[in-house]
């Protein structure tokens, strides 16, 4: 078999202008999703050239699951002090919770500055420093690649956040341990969906590409089970539409779902259960976690074609 040689090319030969070429390319649905997958974010509601006083940032969007405002500033050259000041100014003016600085090359002093910012902020503010590269094999089309240089240390931030609160209960510790182990299995499986930060919450949400619904894994330890289901936000019409296609969805899943319109509440739910959860006996955790991940992937495959 003849193998080609991977060659890096000057990104300015791919995108000559930051605003008109790179920002326009990055704001495209497929490309912003690729960036989101790299950062473990689900980026939606994309706006370009958002003004902050007399300045304008390149891209403003949201993380679908948390609703946090995400600011993206592009710099197709080496990092400099001017852009570092800009991203802080823009983040303040737009009340952004996540700042993504995309550059051609990250200088060590600026990587250290982003690392320092992450160490000295809590969950309310996160900074990413990302290099963008382009490669080709022979005469192939250029292939872009995002490389994370600095990112929030989720574990450290979780510990800091927990430390600020009152002493957590034994149940909360068990939840934190469960989600931490689940994230490790997600990594081992090549991240089939974006992992979320491990918390003490009983739920773990997965995006479906729409702000109208999401998939959640819920720990119900009192009943020794895990609930995995699709939650529909304040949209009974969407739930009814899903329910009209119940047979098609369940055929795709290969199992029946429990459907609950929850007429006395805003949200609605279609779910299934995994038996065997017990915080006191964790030998079956890998089995439970893999089952939960498999069901999430199955539900996403079955429901997404019907997401309006």
Q: What is the pLDDT of residues 34-53, one digit of tens each?
A: 999 888 888 988 998 888 77
Same domain assignment for residues 146 and 12: yes
Residue whose token pair is 């300015």: 12
| pTM: predicted TM-score of the whole model, two decimal places | 0.68
pLDDT in the model for residue 167: 60
Same domain assignment for residues 149 and 15: yes
pLDDT in the model for residue 158: 54
Average pLDDT, the chain: 90
Residue 3 pLDDT more than 90? no
CA of 105: how far to CAs of 10, 37, 75, 141, in Å?
11, 21, 9, 22
Q: What spatial distance separates the first Cα and last Cα of the chain, rounded to whole Å?
A: 45
| Residue range of the domain that includes 185 | 166-306
Same domain assignment for residues 175 and 259: yes
The pLDDT-based confidence of 157 (bands split at 50, 70, 90) is low
Q: What would the pLDDT profile of 235-280 be if each residue is shown by its tens digit? A: 999 999 999 999 999 999 999 999 999 999 999 999 999 999 999 9
Q: Last residue of a domain, which of 132, 153, 174?
A: 153
Same domain assignment for residues 133 and 173: no
Rounded Cα–Cα distance for residues 177 and 219 (Å): 12
Q: Last residue of a domain, which of 86, 119, 153?
A: 153
Rounded Cα–Cα distance for residues 263 and 304 (Å): 23
Residue 160 pLDDT more than 70? no
Residue 136 pLDDT more than 90? yes
CA of 197: how far to CAs of 41, 61, 87, in Å?
11, 20, 24
104 domain-assigned: yes
């Amino acid at each position: 078999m003849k193998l080609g040689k991977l060659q890096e090319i000057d990104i300015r030969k791919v995108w000559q202008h930051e605003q008109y070429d790179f920002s326009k390319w990055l704001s495209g649905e497929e490309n912003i999703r690729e960036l989101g997958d790299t950062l473990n974010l689900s980026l939606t509601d994309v706006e370009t050239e958002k003004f902050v006083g007399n300045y304008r940032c390149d891209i403003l969007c949201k993380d679908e699951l948390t609703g946090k405002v995400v600011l993206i500033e592009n710099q197709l050259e080496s990092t400099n002090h001017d852009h570092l000041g800009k991203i802080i100014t823009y983040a303040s003016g737009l009340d952004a919770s996540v700042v993504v600085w995309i550059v051609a090359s990250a200088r060590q002093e600026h990587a250290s500055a982003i690392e320092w910012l992450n160490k000295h902020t809590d969950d309310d503010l996160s900074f990413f420093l990302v290099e963008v590269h382009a490669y080709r094999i022979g005469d192939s089309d250029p292939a872009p690649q995002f490389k994370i240089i600095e990112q929030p240390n989720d574990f450290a931030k979780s510990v800091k956040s927990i430390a600020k609160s009152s002493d957590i209960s034994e149940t909360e510790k068990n939840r934190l341990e469960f989600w931490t182990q689940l994230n490790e299995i997600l990594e081992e499986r090549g991240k089939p969906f974006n992992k979320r930060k491990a918390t003490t919450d009983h739920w773990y949400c997965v995006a479906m590409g729409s702000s109208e619904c999401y998939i959640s894994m819920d720990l119900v330890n009192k009943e020794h089970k895990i609930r995995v289901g699709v939650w529909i936000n304040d949209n009974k019409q969407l739930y009814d539409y899903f329910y009209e296609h119940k047979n098609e969805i369940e055929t795709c899943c290969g199992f029946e779902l429990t459907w609950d319109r929850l007429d006395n509440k805003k949200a609605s739910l279609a779910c299934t259960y995994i038996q065997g959860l017990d915080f006191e006996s964790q030998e079956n955790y890998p089995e439970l976690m893999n089952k939960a991940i498999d069901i999430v992937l199955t539900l996403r495959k079955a429901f997404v074609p019907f997401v309006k």
